[in-house]
Every structure is written in C-alpha cells, then in structure tokens.
Structure 1
Amino acid sequence: MPLVHQRYNERFVQNAKSSSEPLTPEVKFGVRVVKADAAEGETYWRLVGVHHLLPEENMSKHNIYIEALDEQGKRLRNPITWAGWTWEGRRPNERADPVPLDKPDNETAGNIAIHFGQKASIWIKGLNRDGNDKSDRVENLHTAHPDEPLPDGRLLNTLGHHSFYVGLSAAPRKTSTAVPDG
C-alpha cells in the first residue's frame, strides 16, 4: 500500500477547520512543533498535520515528504513553494539547500532524505528559494525509531528507515478557541 498523500491532506484540512492544533503522530515519535510568531489575521504557514508513515507506506525509506496546501487542501503550484530545512548539529560547511515543492500530483510535492543520526527540522520558506515567510516549524524528525514488524514478519520500518509526511497550509492566524482550564 503506497503512501496516498491526498488522503492525509483531506484529514489534515478537515481537522484544521475545527481545531487550532495540527494532527501529529503519537508521542513516541518525539515530533515537536514550534508555532510561527504571526499576529492575528496575518497569513503564515500553519502546520496542519504530520504523519509517521506506516510500514507498507514507507517501504524501508528514510524521508520527510512535504506538501504546501491552500486552506481547501489543494496543492499550491504557481508560483512554486519552497521548503527550508536543517538538522541539529549541522556544521557551516554542510549544505541544506531549500527544496522546491514542484513534483507531479501522483507524488508528494517534495522530499528530503534524512540519515541515521540526523534530527531534522522543516518549514516553508515561501514562494521563492530565498523567502523568509512566517511558518510553523516541525522539529525532531528522525529515523532512530524501533523496528515495526508486520504480522507476516516483514520489516519495512526499521531502525534508520522511518519517514514522515508533513502538510503546511497558507492561512491567516486565528484567535485560539481553546477554553482555559479551571
């Protein structure tokens, strides 16, 4: 069963309509979200969801797949959106070039290979490779998760071979609808 990213886009966007919090994977994967510093009403790149790929979706890969969406969940295409990324401990001589989100509809818009030991962060740069748009940032994406054996014994998610799908949407910042405890 390959990754059907459109299905996750629909779930991410439906959740975003009723919640200020993105859909994210279980706590065991350690994904962190750093919210953009955007004022109410200001357009920014809002994280709408992160999905840890199931073994049958991942097939032993080690990537971060990225999608830039409009508020209806449609892929943004023209102009091309660019993703920025880095990893913990990156040295000045190590490159993390911006990634164009320009792949065809049957693929995720873009992807970044992550290697064992990397703890990657990703965000949207904007509509050009040198953009500096306000964007939520997803951190601590890594492959150092245990094996996930399938019932038939196959291993398609193993230590060093895990992937994530990240969806961000251009949206105006809304006032939080959370009700305080007490």
Structure 2
Amino acid sequence: MRRWPAGLLLCTLAAAAAAPAQPTPTPKPAKQYTLVEVRRLSPCENRGKHNIYVKVVDANGNGVNGIWVVQAVAGNLGQVLAKRRTEQKDYWLMNPENGRVTFDMFKHGQYVIFISEDGVTPASTDITQALHSAFADEANCPDGGGGNTLYHNSFSVIFRKNW
C-alpha cells in the first residue's frame, strides 16, 4: 500500500476550496409574458372610472409598444371582447408612456386579460383572474374627486415580456 505525505491531502482540499464557483445560469421563465401586477385602484387613484389599465414592460421595466393585449369574457377565452396593440398613451395617469392599453368594464361583466400573438389566441402568457367592477361603495377622495362606487372600480395590470 502506498503512503502519501500527510500535507498532500490538505493542499489538494485547500486548492479545491479556493477554486471559484461557476455561476448558476438563470433559468428561462416558463412563459414569455408574466403577470407582475394585478391591483384594484384605490378610490383616489380611480376617481369613479371603470377601466382596466394594462402596461407591458421589458425586463428593465420599459414599456413595449406593438404587443396585442386581449380582453375576453372570464371563463371563455375564445369570446374576445376587445383587442388592442400597446402604444404610447395613458388614460389613467394622463402621462403618456410606452406599452399601454386601456379597456372598459361594464356592469355585471367579468373579464380576463392576456397577451396574444394574433390578437385572438393566448400567447405564452399568464392570464389574469376574473376582473369585475362590482365592489361595494368606498369613501370618496377628500378633495371631492370621486372614488370607488358600485360598478365604478378599475384595475392596473402589468405584464413583463421575458424574452
């Protein structure tokens, strides 16, 4: 049986410990478009409107124009109610930004929002839960600018384009 010098094993272990670890590659997201926000607006943000304000952003948070966004009936993705391409506009904050579209909501309606390549069929995308405007009345804004009342509620929806 061959005997190794006692220090040889320690040197080998120390050299292995000093070697830099290889970075783990970031896994590719499962979907091209990921929902990063679905939020009902506060009374002072909404001011009595009944809309779904959608924004599509890239990985750096910049708005992306030209993307089909679809509003369909909740529970029936094939029943498309409206479709629009993202563009530089905004009817909520009144500050035009890239990557925006706005959809209306109406009494008793329940809607889903998704991204599409053809304006009809869902792409590799998350789909919102059912959105509606049938919430109980909330206090108006202190400045008298309206608020959230029955059938007058709005949502902010943000999708991130992953690739």
- TM-score (ref. length: structure 1): 0.61
* Higher-Rg member (1/2): 2
Hey, what does 2:67 align to over in structure 1? Answer: 81
Distance 1:87 1:135 in 2: 17
2:52 aligns with: 64
2:31 and 2:125 in contact (8 A); partners too: no
Cα 1:166/1:40, change in 2 over 3 Å: same
CA distance in structure 2 between the aligned counterparts of 1:84 and 1:119, rounded to whole angstroms: 14
Higher deviation after alignment, 80-89 or 156-165 = 80-89
> 2:158: which partner in 1?
167
Shift of 1:60: 0.6
- Specify which of 88, 103, 128 is matched with residue 103 of structure 1: 88
- Give the TM-score of the pair, scaled to structure 2: 0.67
Segments of 5+ residues of structure 2 without an aligned counterpart are: 1-26
Amino acid at match of 2:107: F
1:35 matched residue in structure 2: none
Output aligned runs, 1:15-54, within 5 Å: 40-54=28-42
Structure 1 segments, 4+ long, off by >4 Å, are 39-43, 151-155
What does the per-residue CA deviation read over 1:90-112, in whole Å, with 9 as the maximum and x for residues that have no partner? 7x9x7613112113372461110
Separation in structure 1 between the aligned mates of residue 150 and residue 122 of structure 2, nearest angstrom: 34
Give the partner amino acid of 2:160.
S
CA distance in 2, matches of 1:140, 1:121: 5
Give, as a single letter, the amino acid of the residue that structure 2 aligns with 1:139: Q
Alpha carbons of 1:44 and 1:95: their partners in 2 closer, same or farther (altered >3 Å)? Answer: closer
| % same residue | 26
Cα distance in structure 2, aligned partners of 1:98 and 1:148:
30
Aligned-pair CA distance for 1:151: 6.8
1:149, 1:167 → 2: CA distance? 26
The CA distance in 2 between the partners of 1:151 and 1:84, in whole Å, is 31
Instruction: Tell me how far 1:41 sits from its aligned partner.
Output: 4.7
Corresponding position: 1:149 with 2:139: yes
